[in-house]
Amino acid sequence: MTQACFDCSTTATQRVAHALEGAVRPAAQHVFTQVYADAARAAAQHCDAEAQAGQSLGVLHGVCVTLKDNIDLAGETTMAGSVVCLGEAPALKDAPVVQRLRKAGAVLLGKTNMSEFAFSGVGINPHHGTPANPADTQHARIPGGSSSGAAVSVALGLAEVGIGTDTGGSIRIPAALCGVVGYKSTQARIPSTGVMELSRSLDTVGSITRSVQACLAVDAVLSQRPLPTDAVPVRGLRLALPQTLMMDDLDAPVARAFERTLRRYSEAGAQLVEIPFKALGDIAALSMPGGFSPIEGFAAHHARLERGAQQIDPRVVARMMLGKGISAQDYLGLHNRRQAWIAAAQETLHGFDAMLCPTVPMVAPLIEPLLLDDEAFFKVNRLLLRNPSAINYMDGCSWSLPCHAAGEMPVGLMVSGLAGQDAHLARVALALENLMNS
Phi, psi of 37 (to 5 degrees): -60, -50
In the chain, how many domains are there? 1
The verdict on residue 99 lying in a domain is yes
In a domain, 237, yes or no: no
Residue 176 lies in a domain: yes
Cα–Cα distances in angstroms (integers) from residue 341 to residues 110, 284, 331, 399, in the given order: 39, 12, 16, 22
Whether pTM > 0.95 for this model: the answer is yes
Q: What's the 3-state SS for 87-127?
A: CCCCCCCCCHHHHHHHHCCCEEEEEECCCHHHCCCCCCCCC
CA–CA dist 176, 258 (Å, integer): 12
Q: How confident is the model at residue 4 (pLDDT cuts 50, 70, 90)?
A: confident
Residue 271 in domain: no
pLDDT tens sequence across 93-135: 999 999 999 999 999 999 999 999 999 999 999 999 999 999 9
What pLDDT, in 10s, does the model give residues 227-255? 999 999 999 999 999 999 999 999 999 99
Range of the domain at 44: 12-223
CA distance 76 to 89: 8
Q: What is the mean pLDDT of the chain?
A: 97
C-alpha–C-alpha distance, residues 180 and 152, integer Å: 9
Give domain status of residue 209, yes or no.
Answer: yes
**Residues with active-site annotation:** 68, 146, 170
CATH code of the domain containing 34: 3.90.1300.10
Classify residue 128: in a domain, yes or no: yes
Non-local CB neighbours of 348 within 8 Å, separated by 6+ positions: 275, 277, 279
CA distance 401 to 176: 7
Split at pLDDT 50, 70, 90, the class of 2 is low
Domain membership flag for residue 38 = yes
Tell me whether residue 113 is in a domain.
yes
pLDDT in tens, 76-92: 999 999 999 999 999 99
